[in-house]
Amino acid sequence: MDAPGSDAVFAGSIPEFYDDYLVPLIFEPYAEDLARRVADLVPVQLLEIAAGTGVVTRATARALPGPVELVATDLNQAMLDHAEAVGTTRPVRWQQADAMRLPFADASFDVVFCQFGVMFFPDKSRAFAEARRVLRPGGTLLFNVWDRIEENEFADIVTNTLAGVYPDSPPCFLARTPYGHSDLNAIAHDLARAGFTADPRYETVTARSRAASAQVPATAYCQGTPLRTEIEERTGADLVAATAACAAGIAKRCGSGPVDAKIQAHIITIGNV
């Protein structure tokens, strides 16, 4: 029923829920972190892959000093449309693009960066090879991935709750894709296969995810990600009931008022030597 190829489809009402709920919940702290790291590299031509609704694009636009050419791409035009509508503090070239077939010339960019998009690439080595191809010699690839789902409490609660709601066919999008690619050895192997010869540098960053109520993270995950499609495909509890069950599960562990939970990710940096 659940095809991994559909995990990268963010369409319909998902972009709006994603930006309104998921971005402030888990993406904004890491967006500021990644933008600072990108700005420290002092790029002139800059490419963002899997820009989504533009949270990192906006943070990077604010952090960059001086004139910089910033190109932001995503596979899903609906996500880019939402990002462009929100806007940025400096000009950005928004372009639909597949990370595994980037429509740019060789050696076009000083820095290629990506926030929590690598996990969605069907062929990660091929995507890394494309990033390396469009990087100039001496350029840098910078990206982050979520750590194991057990280190990301809201996502873990939602996954376990839905396994109880749909015991015959548990929705596993979160564990399979966004939280399914935290193995640093596997990432290093994919980078090497892509032609990178430098050793990647890793840093694990822990933060807190905060919301006004348990309903917020439940809605964020159930309705702002492709998990929504998995829920809607199943018989029994509908989307509203599934979201309510997840909110109850989060409240049981984190409290009935404002909620606070651990999130954790790896930041990977590698040079194109």
Buried b (16+ CB within 10 A) or exposed e, 242-266: bbbbbbebbbeebeeeebebebbbb
Whether the predicted model's global pTM rises above the 0.75 cut: yes
Task: Classify residue 104 by its DSSP letter.
Answer: S
What does the pLDDT read at residue 18?
Answer: 76
State how far the Cα of 246 lies from the Cα of 228, in Å rounded to an integer: 13
Buried b (16+ CB within 10 A) or exposed e, 101-124: ebebeeebbbbbbbbbbbbbbeeb
What number of CA atoms fall less than 13 Å from residue 236's CA on the CB side?
A: 15
* Average per-residue pLDDT for the chain: 93
State how far the Cα of 272 lies from the Cα of 267, in Å rounded to an integer: 17
Q: What is the mean pLDDT of residues 189-203?
A: 98
Of 147, 136, 134, nearest to 73 by C-alpha is 134
**Alpha helix stretches (DSSP H) within 41-152:** 55-63, 77-86, 124-134
* pLDDT, tens only, 203-244: 999 999 999 999 999 999 999 888 999 999 999 999 999 999
Question: Is pLDDT at 3 greater than 70 in this prediction?
Answer: no
State how far the Cα of 111 lies from the Cα of 86, in Å rounded to an integer: 24
* pLDDT, tens only, 23-65: 889 999 999 999 999 999 999 999 999 999 899 999 999 999 8
Would strands 69-74 and 45-48 be described as parallel, antiparallel, or unpaired? parallel
130, 107 in Cβ contact below 8 A? Answer: no
**Total residue count of the chain as it appears in this document:** 273
Please state, for a pLDDT cut of 90, what percent of the chain lies above it: 85
Sorted by sequence, the CB contacts under 8 Å of residue 255 that are 6+ apart come out as 214
State how far the Cα of 237 lies from the Cα of 232, in Å rounded to an integer: 9
Sorted by sequence, the CB contacts under 8 Å of residue 121 that are 6+ apart come out as 99, 100, 127
Please state, for a pLDDT cut of 70, what percent of the chain lies above it: 95
* pLDDT, tens only, 103-155: 999 999 999 999 999 999 999 999 999 999 999 999 999 999 999 999 999 99
